[in-house]
Amino acid sequence: MSDKGRLVLLGAPLGNPGDASTRLRETLAVADIVAAEDTRRLTRLARDLGISIPGRIISYFEGNEERRTPDLVEAALGGALVALVTDAGMPSVSDPGYRLVRAALDAGVPVTVAPGPSAVTTALALSGLPTDRFCFEGFLPRTGGPRRARLRALAAEERTLVFFEAPHRVAGTLVDLAEAFGADRPAALCRELTKTYEEVRRQPLGELADWAATGGPRGEITLVVGGAPQVAATRPADADLRAAVAEREAAGTSRRDAITAVATEHGLRRRDVYAVVHPPTSP
């Protein structure tokens, strides 16, 4: 394999061409093959950036990625610089790309990234919700039953949640979210990020559902939903703590280790459990 052969994932602007990185421009100018989710959008982006793409441009989307992946890997193995770009954001994040990355890695093709915008982190930063811990769920199931089942499974998740949703399904999704998570759960609906009509609505799920029902929002939508509130653990009664320690001791655990185990299990300080097992004696 030539040293040149490799796969480069290109992070594309979400909407504003001014967000295109220098590396995206440079890679498009030297790539032997550019695989694009939508070749027309790629052509428009190149025009907006004032650049030309001398390499071969091919379409690479959900309907043909299985068929075209082997050819792209073979081209990279033969020394070609293959670039992958999707309509917006990072390839393989709810967009075509994972299949090609996995096949390239399995074949020994070097894979790298020209980082760029991401709707996930952009919406998260704009939401006003906690960003220290979050999880990305992508697109929810399209039909009501499976979607509601997925949301019920996520209702107790304490991390901030990020979803993608299609505009024609967002009203129904918000109703299901409010039912599963509670109408008061804080959320943000972000649409048309970085574009002319960018809008972020920060409201509880119930209010967002009522708003969407009056006329569904248009454009690319990212939903950010606050995590479930933490439920404070109830401290067991002293008698129950002593019984738990005694049970472990009876099973052969040393008292020291039994106290440590019971404290860890209930989220208590070891010294507090020790004080229950060894109460101070009155003078």
Number of domains the chain is built from:
3
> What helix, strand, coil percent values describe the chain, rounded to 5?
40, 20, 40
End residue of a domain, out of 95, 117, 139: 117
Query: Phi then psi for 193, rounded to 5 degrees?
Result: -55, 135
* Domain identity same for 10 and 110: yes
Please tell me the distance from the alpha carbon of residue 134 to that of residue 128, in angstroms, as a whole number: 13
* Domain identity same for 124 and 145: yes
End residue of a domain, out of 91, 117, 143: 117
Q: Give a yes or no: residue 150 inside a domain.
A: yes
Q: Give a yes or no: residue 197 inside a domain.
A: yes
CATH of the domain at 203: 3.30.950.10
Q: Which DSSP symbol is given to 46?
A: H
* Domain identity same for 143 and 179: yes
Q: Give a yes or no: residue 158 inside a domain.
A: yes
* Domain identity same for 85 and 187: no
Domain that includes residue 213, residue range: 120-225
Q: Which of these, 73, 108, 89, lies nearest to 37 by C-alpha position?
A: 89
Please tell me the distance from the alpha carbon of residue 23 to that of residue 49, in angstroms, as a whole number: 13
Q: Give a yes or no: residue 181 inside a domain.
A: yes
Q: Give a yes or no: residue 208 inside a domain.
A: yes
Residue 230: per-residue pLDDT: 77
* Domain identity same for 194 and 125: yes
Q: Give a yes or no: residue 216 inside a domain.
A: yes
Name, in order, each residue with C-beta under 8 angstroms of 125's C-beta and a sequence gap of 6 or more.
Answer: 131
Q: Which of these, 121, 160, 161, lies nearest to 139 by C-alpha position?
A: 161
CATH of the domain at 10: 3.40.1010.10
Q: Give a yes or no: residue 1 inside a domain.
A: no
Q: Give a yes or no: residue 233 inside a domain.
A: no
Please tell me the distance from the alpha carbon of residue 101 to that of residue 83, in angstroms, as a whole number: 11
Report, as ranges of residue numbers, the positions in the chain whose pLDDT lies below 50: 1-2
* Domain identity same for 134 and 208: yes
Residue 88: per-residue pLDDT: 93
Residue 235: per-residue pLDDT: 83
Residue 273: per-residue pLDDT: 92
* Domain identity same for 198 and 106: no
Amino acid at 106: D
Q: Which two tokens stand for residue 13?
A: 């602007």
Residue 1: per-residue pLDDT: 39
**Full-model pTM:** 0.77
Tens-digit pLDDT profile for residues 223-264: 999 999 876 567 889 999 999 999 999 999 999 999 999 988
